[in-house]
Amino acid sequence: MISKEMEATLNKQIELECYASFLYLSMASWCETEGLEGSAAFMHRQSEEERAHMLRIFHYISEVDGHAIVPAVKQPPLKFDSARAMFQEVYDHEQKVTASINKLVSQAYKEDDYTTLNFLQWYVDEQREEEALMRSIMDKIKLIGDGPQSLYYIDKEIDKINAAEAAAEAANADAGGA
């Protein structure tokens, strides 16, 4: 059983993860309208991943005798100034999620809630990976530039990253199922 304070904070995290899923879905749609197919595929996959993160917390709250709440989610932006601006927004949002996870960890320590602390460790690791990935994408965009011709190369790099991430997920799923 978790405290009502921890339950409320975890429900706030559900809201943040749900917003990320919708934000990335909106970004995928924008990429599609801009002809950035590789980036669109990447953002669709990111949206699904964030939804899975949300559901993981949702189910955890129920497992520990809490009440998970389906959040109302505000409308994410529909358009972005550039691919660079869009990926900067992703990076900024991932940093916000990391800060929120860190607060949850701190709260779990203060409450001596070692079950939740153990559950949150997966998110700590995941956020480190997410931030590193987004920093890597931002570094590539800086190297390539973001002029009209550069968008083609940026999109191809994002497509390569997406393919590598999907392959790694498939390998992990195969290893776990063996």
* Residue 115 reports pLDDT greater than 70: yes
Pull the structure tokens for residue 27.
Answer: 């970004």
CB-CB neighbours of 57 under 10 Å: 23
Burial of 30 (0-12, 13-18, 19+ CB in 10 A): buried
pTM of the entire structure? 0.89
Interatomic CA distance for residues 135 and 132, integer angstroms: 5
Torsion of CA 148, 86, 135, 40, to 10 degrees: -80
Amino acid at 39: S
Q: Are 22 and 76 in contact (CB under 8 A)?
A: yes
**Nearest Cα to Cα of residue 60 among 9, 102, 107, 110:** 9
Mean pLDDT of the 94-119 span? 96
How many beta carbons lie within 10 A of that of residue 163, not counting itself?
A: 13
Q: Which pLDDT does position 177 carry in this prediction?
A: 56
pLDDT digits (tens, 9 = 90+) for 14-38: 999 999 999 999 999 999 999 999 9
> Which residue segments constitute the domains of the chain, with CATH numbers given?
4-177 (1.20.1260.10)
